[in-house]
Amino acid sequence: MAHHPDAPSESALATEALADLRTAHVSRALDDREIALQKQSRVFFQISGAGHEALLLGLARSLRAGYDWFFPYYRDRALMLALGVTPYEMLLQAVGSADDPASGGRQMPCHWGNRDLHVVSQTSATGSQCLPAVGCAEATRYIQGRSLPGAEAHGDELTYVSLGEGATSEGEFWESLNTACRLHLPVLFLVADNGYAISVRSEDQSPAPISEMVAGFRGLAVTKVDGRDWFAAREAGQVAVARVRAAEGPGLIHATVTRPYSHSAADTQAKYRPDSELQDERDHDPITLLERAVIARGWATADDVAQLRADGQAEVAAAAKAAMAAARPSPTTLLSNVTALPAIDDPGAPSTEGEVVAFGEAIRRTLHEAMAADERIRVFGEDVADAPVELIGQLEGKGGVFGTTLGLQRDFGVARCFNTPLAEANIVGRAVGQAIRGLKPCPEIQFFDYIWTAMQQIKTEAATTRWRSNGAYSCPMVLRVPIGGYLAGGAIWHSQSGESIFAHIPGLVVMYPSRARDAVGMLRAAFRCDDPVLFLEHKHLLRQPYTRDPFPEEGWVLPLGKGTIDQAGTDLTIVTYGATVERSRRASLLLAEEQGASIEIIDLRCLIPWDSDLVAESVQRTSRVLVVHEDIRTAGFGGEVAAWIAEACFEHLDAPVGRVGALDCHVAYEPTLEDAVLPQVADIAEAARRALAY
């Protein structure tokens, strides 16, 4: 369906053009002022919006602050001004003030964020905003027609996401187009093509202009526009936005713009761009073009235009003065808004009345329970659904490669448990957008071994959301991931550990239960968190008899970061988690038989945060300690625990802190090799003997 928006009256258009010309001058003056201030070391970074102003202001005429949702790019300064971010607020970020509303001095300038305006805090990672934007649009669709606590959506709101032509090379951009088109989501992509990604020309970056490259995406309405021309941008924007608002599917605007200033203050574009090209950009500067147009149409005189420029500059000068006087952040606030974890009381031992279930089944039941209680929870990932909707009545259903999500689609519908494309960044990135938008996504990565393509979304987007926005946004999600080996044949790509890599990411909670009871209590806690939780499910433990427990009663929720004494002892403490808990038990039996040793085993259960109090208390009693895990020994989580014990419990130790972990290589396929790589009962027993004999 074609859209022919009403043309504005001449006087209305004139009013808009003159107002936007003034805003364009404010935008350019902000860049100039920041560049000047950086030379005086009062601003510490600068990246300009120069050359993009007319495009963004023309487009902004069709967008609605506090109604639509915005996932902007760093060059979107003029759009932010149009939405209502003030020059003073922008300069507060440039000087790093505590009052910077986007980040409290934590982020570089032009890293926008404003909750009231629905501007989502952005990272510097080019292209990574695209998947969260799609998740946000997806959430819009889900929220509409439901009544969910803390989540509202307007009927024709859209999600705006922008990026440069360089960033379209990122896989995440293409993964986001896939889902935006497949689900016909109300997303407007803006590609502001200034011909360069720092020094790399667009023709050296990709085989064709982006509007040609996306031509095959069914359902994507592609618009090409000269973004230097405010009138063209305004009109093209109006048509494209109307179509997205009318729920006709996603749109992509490919706009050519200029980059009159270097990429950032750290770059000198004369080093790689010829004079003739830079002169041509000056001749076609979008602000100059708009000035000429308003004069030619008789809407303003040359003097009026000069006055608008002077007004814009004066406004910025005053804002800069005020921003420089604003409060600086205190280093004592740095650790605020890393996470905001819920306080959960220790529930004591669970009732033993419940039906005895295996580890995997316990997780499956807890997911059912959580979804029944909270409609904001959605489970998605590869193969997690049961069967095609039209066939589900006739088929048993898949429910995940380990059967952990079996029946969720059947019980809660395909809007709440669904399959995603085979793309891990897509899974987590969409979860980020849904979480920011007020849902509680529960994405699944099929195997830990394939989590790496989602790393940008986990580490850069999810884990930093709260901190980088200084608490304005949070990213609650329960990311379930089957992990680990001891599979006899799992080999290198189905046996990986690597939890220490995630423990190293501030803002992420890392859970690693070893038995059914704890999996239930911890998964319940994970859903109470308002921050991202990595919930690791050991594949080998899913069906082991020793992980079976009576299913704990409703309300039995484990506090975060609470370990447990799995087995009490007096001579040596083994600190462990996951699949090595049972192996440590077996090693302790050997030593009890051999030499009557009494070994205490602590199951940490939760790695971030971890229960150092419990460890300290135990080491004080036993004076000897061994840290055991399945993950590679070098830089494994045990290194952190051992170092902490050496520092905090030194005077209580009668032996060096021992460590047992996998060899520093990959897990091999052939079972004898697999056994030799991963820590076995004999390895733990041997290390325990050494510690006891010291």
For ligand TPP, the binding residues (CB under 6 A) are: 75, 124-126, 163-167, 194, 196-198, 263
**Binding partner at 87 among ligand TPP, Mg ion, none, C-beta below 5 to 8 Å by kind:** none
Q: Please, which residue, 459 or 540, has the CB nearer to ligand TPP? A: 459
389-394 long-range contacts (CB < 8 A, ≥24 apart) are: 389/414
Specify whether 111 is catalytic: no
Near Mg ion by CB under 5 A: residue from 101, 113, 132, 166? 166
Near Mg ion by CB under 5 A: residue from 27, 169, 194, 573? 194
Q: How far is CA 643 from the centre of its chain?
A: 30
Q: Which has the closest alpha carbon to 71: 123, 15, 108? A: 123
Q: Please, which residue, 196 or 412, has the CB nearer to ligand TPP? A: 196
Least distance to ligand TPP, CB of residue 194, Å: 5
Q: Which has the closest alpha carbon to 498: 548, 454, 530? A: 454
Encoding tokens for residue 121?
């805090």
Q: Please, which residue, 14 or 278, has the CB nearer to Mg ion? A: 278
Residues 6+ apart with CB under 8 A from 93: 100, 102, 103, 105, 107, 108, 109, 110, 111
Least distance to Mg ion, CB of residue 194, Å: 4
**Segment lying near Mg ion (by CB under 5 A), choices 159-167, 504-512, 548-556, 660-668:** 159-167
Give backbone dihedrals phi and psi of 252, rounded to 5 degrees, phi first.
-135, 125
Least distance to ligand TPP, CB of residue 195, Å: 8
Least distance to ligand TPP, CB of residue 55, Å: 11
Least distance to ligand TPP, CB of residue 197, Å: 3
CB atoms closer than 10 angstroms to residue 310 = 12
Q: Please, which residue, 124 or 307, has the CB nearer to ligand TPP? A: 124
**Binding partner at 126 among Mg ion, ligand TPP, none, C-beta below 5 to 8 Å by kind:** ligand TPP
Task: Please identify which of the residues 111, 494, 538, 540 carries the catalytic annotation.
Answer: 494
> Is 164 a binder of Mg ion (CB under 5 A)?
yes
Q: Please, which residue, 72 or 559, has the CB nearer to ligand TPP? A: 72
DSSP-assigned beta bridge partners for residue 379: 417, 442
Separation CA 547–CA 555 (nearest Å): 21
Q: How far is CA 560 from the centre of its chain?
A: 21
Least distance to ligand TPP, CB of residue 126, Å: 4
641-648 long-range contacts (CB < 8 A, ≥24 apart) are: 641/575, 641/604, 641/610, 641/615, 644/612, 644/615, 645/615, 645/616, 645/619, 648/612, 648/616
**Which residue matches tokens 């300038």?**
109
Residue pair 467/507 in contact (Cβ under 8 Å)? The answer is yes
CB atoms closer than 10 angstroms to residue 642 = 19
DSSP state of 279: H
Encoding tokens for residue 359?
């580890």
Least distance to Mg ion, CB of residue 605, Å: 47
SS3 189: strand
Q: How far is CA 598 from the centre of its chain?
A: 45
Burial of 19 (0-12, 13-18, 19+ CB in 10 A): middle
Q: Please, which residue, 46 or 514, has the CB nearer to ligand TPP? A: 46
Q: Where are the alpha helices (DSSP H) in 338-464?
A: 359-373, 408-412, 424-436, 455
Least distance to ligand TPP, CB of residue 38, Å: 17
**Segment lying near Mg ion (by CB under 5 A), choices 195-203, 290-298, 359-367, 660-668:** 195-203
DSSP state of 119: B
Least distance to ligand TPP, CB of residue 556, Å: 43
Q: Please, which residue, 124 or 634, has the CB nearer to ligand TPP? A: 124
Q: Which has the closest alpha carbon to 494: 445, 532, 545, 431? A: 445
**Binding partner at 75 among Mg ion, ligand TPP, none, C-beta below 5 to 8 Å by kind:** ligand TPP
**Segment lying near Mg ion (by CB under 5 A), choices 28-36, 60-68, 165-173, 515-523:** 165-173
Helix axes 87-95, 10-39, angle to 10 degrees: 20
Q: Which has the closest alpha carbon to 257: 7, 458, 76? A: 76
DSSP-assigned beta bridge partners for residue 480: 444, 535
Q: Please, which residue, 245 or 259, has the CB nearer to ligand TPP? A: 259
Q: Please, which residue, 164 or 679, has the CB nearer to ligand TPP? A: 164
Catalytic residues: 494
Binding site for Mg ion (CB under 5 A): 164-166, 194, 196-197
